[in-house]
Amino acid sequence: MSASGTAAAGQVEHMLRQVTPGRYDAYEALLEALAGGQVWMLLWHGQAGSPDAQYGNMDVEGLGYAPCVTSAQELAASGWNRAHEVAGGIEVARTLFPDHYGLWLNPHAPGGGVGIPWLDLRRIATGLDKLPAGPLRLSEPAIEIPQFYAQLTQNAHRTPAVRSLRRAWVQPALGAPYLALGLDVYDTSAASVDAVRAMMQQSIAAVPDGLPVSTVAMGDAYDPVAMWLRANSRPFYDREAHAPAPAGGGHGYGYPRA
């Protein structure tokens, strides 16, 4: 391994030793080290680089994780007697998170090591600065900003790409809380994206000073805010709820025609 690779591995191990329950700052630093470092993935089948190579897997409280170690020394200490593969943290994150698999560091270590859930691997794969630090506390917004909601609803109605809008109050593990707006659109073409961006730019002037606002695509199957909104909220704007009933009576979801 190169000197830079050894240094990166050392940083991962250094930050791993700092992580304790409730120390979200240390955990976030570990994620940063992983994003710039390497891990030794334990292969259950195949050899490194072969088409049939398959990571090991472990189940912790009903969630899947791929086990790894953080250095050649830890590999020797683990007693693993099958093949392994040295891979970049970002590469591993991009491979695992779409299948809802996390990464477990040094499961052989005293205390059992540290698990990185797939949602945090998604943050590593996407960019830690682009997504809020979890675990997230989500709730209905309590702040009263009727002027903004009225302006946003009016602009959404004028933007045919928008199907519905939802909202949540998000408290990240680190950083300031913010208002999240869930955007449900009919398509994701460039024209639709531009129209929705313009809609938000026209509406944002009505947001009170100092209130952070973010948007999330309701079609994002991996975003925790979008998942919470789909399961726990109703749209505050719904184009189809305001549409005229179809000729012949119409019917509600799950009910026969009258």
Summarize pLDDT for 92-139 with one digit per residue, the tens: 999 999 999 999 999 999 999 999 999 999 999 999 999 999 889 999
Average pLDDT, the chain: 89
For the chain, where are the alpha helices, taking DSSP H only? 3-18, 24-36, 72-78, 89-96, 118-126, 146-157, 190-203, 224-232
CA atoms within 13 A on the CB side of 129: 0
Tell me the average pLDDT across 222-232: 96
As a CATH number, domain 137-241 is 3.30.300
Banded pLDDT at 243 (limits 50, 70, 90): low
- Say if CB 228 and CB 168 are below 8 A apart: yes
How far is Cα 63 from Cα 58, in angstroms, rounded to an integer? Answer: 8
Strand-pairing partners, residue 246, are: none
Enter the pTM of the model.
0.81
CA atoms within 13 A on the CB side of 147: 6
**Where do the structural domains in the chain lie, given as residue ranges?**
3-126, 137-241
Tell me yes or no: is domain 3-126 CATH 3.40.1350.90: yes
- pLDDT of 134: 86
Digit-coded pLDDT (tens) for 39-69: 999 999 989 888 888 999 999 999 999 999 9
- pLDDT of 209: 93
